[in-house]
């Protein structure tokens, strides 16, 4: 359904698709997806970069289109992890790897334990407090209240976040993303194909990607993500700066992660994010509207959030976001991350055409 709707918006049919991208976090790869949709692509990819896979796919799709490997790329994903109750557990995810030597013996839980280590280090090193993390959760919830499709829309206060159960110090229940079903699809095409779109197309100005390590024991710095490299590449290709961005869609799997992304992408300096978000900067009407769908914290997190970040960015640039619409939004950034303790990152800069 999502693929059919995305192609209809683009004024295209399944027979027009010759590039196909998905990842196995949705339990199917490009071969299975192509079989299901009746697509035999000239170019396909099922690389698993975690939740950031879809921003990676945008980068790879524009390269494939630019070199003539495909003309119309369909990027899709769907997951029923909440219905099936099949979210991977620690032992299943980590057995047979380096973690068996350096992580599993200490009982670290996948993935919250890895991110909790990052949060604890960031708070120790830069003086961030639990209240700063709670501000991120509250910002996401304020946006979710404006989104009729958000999984949770009830009012949320900093006190509510602070009173939620401590799951893995310093992360509380409301510092953590949802576990939901969900999915989506996007279409990327050559400019001449986009001219016939049923809805106004959005231009990809820039994209960048990077990865550093898989295991948290190999992480060189728990307070720095590969977003430093992916953001630099994406903004450099786009020819814009973070100060030009009207809408920011970060991968908010955990509250402290958003603080790191703001710093690593250059919206503020290292250690400055807690002060940067003060005064409602990320909220509706703020200087940098972020998580405008409600994000993974309050809208939807179907195992891999990256495709939903791109979809929300497009809706904002088209002016289709309803009551949560950011006025005069012309440049948006979708920033995906994945893996254990920020293993992968990819950044996409989009513009109203």
Active site residues: 251, 299
HEC sequence for the chain: CHHHHHHHHCCCCHHHCCEEECCHHHCCCHHHHHHHHCCCCCEEECCCCHHHHHHHHHHHHHHHHHCCCCCEEEEEEEECHHHHCCCCCHHHHHCCCCHHHHCHHHCCCCCHHHHHHHHHHHHHHHCCCHHHHHHHHHHHHHHHCCCCCCCCCCCCCHHHHHHCCEEECCEEHHHECCCCCEEEEEEEECHHHHCCCCCCCEEEEEEEEEECCCCHHHCCCCCCCCHHHHHHHHHHHHCCCHHHCCEEEECCCEHHHHHHHHHHCCCCCCCCHHHHCCCCCCCCCCCCCECCCCHHHHHCCCCCCHHHHHHHHHHHHHCCCHHHCCCCCCEEEEEEEECCCCCEEEEEEEEEC
């Amino acid at each position: 359904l999502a693929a059919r709707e995305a192609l209809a918006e683009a004024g295209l049919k399944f027979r027009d698709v010759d590039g196909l991208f998905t990842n196995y976090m949705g339990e199917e790869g490009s071969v299975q997806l192509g079989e299901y949709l009746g697509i035999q692509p000239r170019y396909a990819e099922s690389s698993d970069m975690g939740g950031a896979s879809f921003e990676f796919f945008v980068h790879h799709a524009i390269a494939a289109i630019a070199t003539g490997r495909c003309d119309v790329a369909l990027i899709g994903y769907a997951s029923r992890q909440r219905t099936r109750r099949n979210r991977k557990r620690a032992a299943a995810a980590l057995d047979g790897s380096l973690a068996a030597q350096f992580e599993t013996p200490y009982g670290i839980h996948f993935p919250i334990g890895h991110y909790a280590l990052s949060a604890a280090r960031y708070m120790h090193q830069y003086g961030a407090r639990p209240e700063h993390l709670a501000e991120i959760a509250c910002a996401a919830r304020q946006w979710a209240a404006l989104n009729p499709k958000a999984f949770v829309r009830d009012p949320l206060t900093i006190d509510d976040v602070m009173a939620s159960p401590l799951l893995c110090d310093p992360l509380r229940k409301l510092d953590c993303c949802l576990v939901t079903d969900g999915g989506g699809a996007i279409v990327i095409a050559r400019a001449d194909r986009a001219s016939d779109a049923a809805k106004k197309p959005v231009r990809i100005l820039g994209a960048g990607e990077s990865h550093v390590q898989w295991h948290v024991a190999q992480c060189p710095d728990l307070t720095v993500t590969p977003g430093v490299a992916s953001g630099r590449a994406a903004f450099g290709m786009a020819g814009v700066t973070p100060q030009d961005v009207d809408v920011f869609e970060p991968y908010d799997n955990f509250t402290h992660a958003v603080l790191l992304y703001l710093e690593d992408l250059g919206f503020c300096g290292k250690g400055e994010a807690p002060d940067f978000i003060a005064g409602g900067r990320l909220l509706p009407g703020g200087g940098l509207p972020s998580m405008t769908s409600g994000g993974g914290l309050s809208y939807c997190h179907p195992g891999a959030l990256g495709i939903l970040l791109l979809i929300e960015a497009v809706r904002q640039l088209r002016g289709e976001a309803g009551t949560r619409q950011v006025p005069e939004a012309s440049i948006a950034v979708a920033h995906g991350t994945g893996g254990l303790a920020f293993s992968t990152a990819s950044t996409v800069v989009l513009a109203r055409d």
